[in-house]
């Protein structure tokens, strides 16, 4: 599932291809957009900015219109130079924006909508976001801790880190990696996790996620995610990385029961 760094990287790439330009063509191949007339409504409008907020991607067009996208589990943004083979079937494309030699494509993804900037500003999905762990602006640690303490104190820490109201951008991969990096057991209840421990996780993750957001190479930071049964890279062969579904959504968490406490 795309996490905040992946979306920030997509915003960088999509913005590089489109910002400051009027697209040559806009196509919405998915049947659910057939009556929405996006090509007509966006015709002649320049792309003024492309930005990520947590896991949301926003394309701002001239004249006060914006595209709002959220990929959830399986969607992807790609910038495909002319002649390069597409990684998925063209039938999986929900949106294609052509400009020069590039095609900017969103494949899949359940949230893709065109709305006015005024509606975007009042959208509760965006207004409710916690501080963005990837954004260049200083991370508001006080706000993060306040939101964390407003959450159910019996909720497990790993599950709480996925709550985008508390901190925007962390998904399954970084939840597991961050708790491991800080040596914090993701199964502890929030009430038993100190502010310093919670901050240690976001402080460990932020530079890694920001680097991944600039070069798209998230996988180099994989230490325990998807490595159940292997030796823990920190405490050695005696201990094995474990996995278990966590929270109401049963999202997979990886951890080391020896060196995370
Ligand atoms: Zn360990």
Structure confidence by residue, pLDDT tens digits, 49-81: 999 999 999 999 999 999 999 998 889 999 999
Residue 250 phi, psi (nearest 5)? 55, 45
Question: Residue 190's pLDDT is what?
Answer: 98
Report percent pLDDT > 90 for the chain.
Answer: 92
Lowest mean pLDDT among 89-93, 161-165, 184-188, 252-256: 89-93
CATH number reported for the structural domain that contains residue 224 in this entry: 1.10.8.50
Tell how far the Cα of 181 is from the centroid of ligand 1, in angstroms.
Answer: 10
Among 217, 243, 220, 221, which residue's Cα sits nearest to residue 230?
243
Question: Residue 74's pLDDT is what?
Answer: 84
User: Does residue 99 register a pLDDT over 80?
Assistant: yes
Tell how far the Cα of 236 is from the centroid of ligand 1, in angstroms.
Answer: 7
Q: How many domains does the chain have?
A: 2
Tell how far the Cα of 212 is from the centroid of ligand 1, in angstroms.
Answer: 24
Tell how far the Cα of 243 is from the centroid of ligand 1, in angstroms.
Answer: 13
105/220 same-domain check? no
121/8 same-domain check? yes
Question: Residue 223's pLDDT is what?
Answer: 96
Place of tokens 């019996």: 154
Domain boundary among 99, 127, 155: 127
Tell how far the Cα of 1 is from the centroid of ligand 1, in angstroms.
Answer: 25
pTM: 0.95
Domain boundary among 104, 127, 150: 127
Tell how far the Cα of 180 is from the centroid of ligand 1, in angstroms.
Answer: 8
Domain boundary among 75, 98, 127: 127
Structure confidence by residue, pLDDT tens digits, 114-133: 999 999 999 999 999 999 99
Domain carrying residue 107: 4-127
pLDDT tier at 239, thresholds 50, 70, 90: confident
Positions annotated as catalytic residues are 2-3, 55, 251
Query: Which two structure tokens, joined as six digits, stand for 224?
Result: 């325990």
Can you say whether the dihedral through the CA atoms of 177, 162, 253, 77 is positive or negative? Answer: negative
């Amino acid at each position: 599932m795309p996490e905040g760094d992946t979306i920030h990287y997509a915003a960088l790439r999509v913005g590089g291809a489109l910002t400051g330009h009027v697209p040559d063509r806009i196509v919405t191949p998915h049947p659910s957009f057939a009556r929405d007339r996006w090509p007509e409504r966006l015709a002649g409008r320049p792309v003024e900015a492309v930005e990520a907020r947590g896991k949301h991607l926003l394309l701002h067009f001239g004249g006060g219109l914006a595209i709002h996208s959220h990929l959830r589990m399986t969607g992807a943004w790609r910038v495909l130079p002319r002649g390069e083979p597409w990684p998925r079937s063209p039938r999986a494309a929900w949106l294609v924006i052509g400009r020069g030699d590039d095609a900017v494509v969103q494949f899949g993804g359940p949230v893709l909508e065109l709305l006015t900037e005024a509606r975007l500003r009042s959208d509760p999905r965006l207004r409710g976001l916690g501080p963005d762990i990837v954004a260049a602006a200083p991370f508001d640690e006080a706000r993060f801790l306040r939101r964390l303490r407003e959450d159910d104190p019996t909720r497990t820490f790993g599950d709480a880190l996925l709550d985008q109201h508390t901190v925007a951008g962390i998904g399954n991969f970084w939840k597991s990696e961050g708790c491991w990096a800080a040596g914090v057991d993701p199964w502890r209840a929030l009430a038993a996790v100190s502010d310093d421990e919670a901050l240690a996780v976001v402080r460990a993750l932020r530079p890694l996620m920001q680097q991944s957001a600039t070069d798209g190479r998230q996988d180099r930071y994989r230490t325990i995610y998807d490595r159940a049964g292997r030796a823990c890279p920190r405490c050695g062969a005696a201990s094995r990385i474990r996995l278990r579904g966590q929270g109401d959504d049963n999202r997979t968490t990886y951890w080391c029961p020896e060196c995370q406490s």
